[in-house]
Structure 1
Amino acid sequence: MQKKLVVEKVEKRDERLWLICDHPPFSLEQARPKNHMLVDSDNIAFIYILETDEDFIYVAIPSEFWMDIKQVLTDGTPIFLQSGTIEMELTHFKEELTYLIENIDGNANYGEQMEQAVKEIFLT
């Protein structure tokens, strides 16, 4: 089974980039990073996957926050998730996102809107 969180805002503080879900519909207390990302072409978002013993949890990062992420992709700034009171580093985020960006460029399988959005933010 999968659950989904949508990032509501992004903040840079404490030398980290924070993806924030202020009002999560469930706890991430047992969640851990899966070190894998997917693409949600329908909603023009990247998905970072968390897992528990029973579930996968999709953390959707809408395109409105991609510019913030682009700014830290090449430096050493770690990316963290804050969901309610739970905080965790999203390990392998940069490697996974870089792979997806390279794969999306020129690849019609992701849909024209997704490809265009990625080009506008990450490939210019």
Structure 2
Amino acid sequence: MNKKIIIETAILNDGKLILETEEKINGLIPAEQILVDSDHNSFIYLMENQEDYTYIVLPEQLWSYLKTAIEQEVTVFLKAEHEQIELPNFLDELEYVLSNIKGNSNYGNELVTKVEGFFLSV
């Protein structure tokens, strides 16, 4: 079974978005892909190790950080205690997923409405 790490804290500072967790991230390698969890209104950054995938879950309460990260074009990191891992292509992947959600009822009407209203409104 794939492990889930739910990010509850984020910090925007010095051109970086730091996603903080108390879980161990040692040995995780960024898979450079973002998935969508429509049931929980979350984005998931995929990471892997030698055995399995780990889902870095970014719930709706972090969307304001994600939106600011896109606007400011910052670098995104996952941090746990003394370890920090850069998440390559995070913003490109997020923007790609957001563009796919727009008007796409396959993601569920509730998620589409929320994403369009939050990320895609002018």
TM norm structure 1: 0.91
**Within-5 A mapping of 1:77-116:** 77-116=74-113
Task: Note the residue ranges of structure 2 that are not aligned, 5 or more in a row.
Answer: none
Instruction: Give the whole-Å Cα distance in 2 for the aligned partners of 1:40 and 1:83.
Output: 23
Amino acid across the alignment from 1:92: N
Query: For 2:73 and 2:101, how far apart are their aligned partners in 1?
Result: 24
Q: Check whether the contact 1:63–1:117 (CA below 8 A) recurs between aligned residues.
A: no
Tell me if 1:10 matches 2:7: no
SS of the equivalent of 2:39 reads coil
Instruction: Indicate the residue corresponding to 2:72 in structure 1.
Output: 75
State the alpha-carbon separation in 1 of the partners of residues 5 and 108 from structure 2.
Answer: 23
Structure having the larger proportion of residues in helix: 2
Q: CA deviation at 1:18?
A: 0.8
Gaps of 5+ in 1: none
The residue identity in structure 1 corresponding to 2:93 is E
Percent identical among aligned pairs is 34
Inter-partner Cα distance in structure 2 for 1:118 and 1:99: 13
How many residues are aligned here? 121
Deviation at 1:82, TM superposition (A): 1.1
Which consecutive aligned stretches of 4+ in structure 1 deviate over 2 angstroms post-superposition?
A: 83-86
The aligned counterpart of 1:48 is 45
Cα contact 2:6–2:56 (8 A) shared by 1: yes
**In structure 2, C-alpha distance between the alignment counterparts of 1:85 and 1:34, rounded to whole Å:** 21
- Whole-angstrom distance in 2 between the partners of 1:115 and 1:82: 29
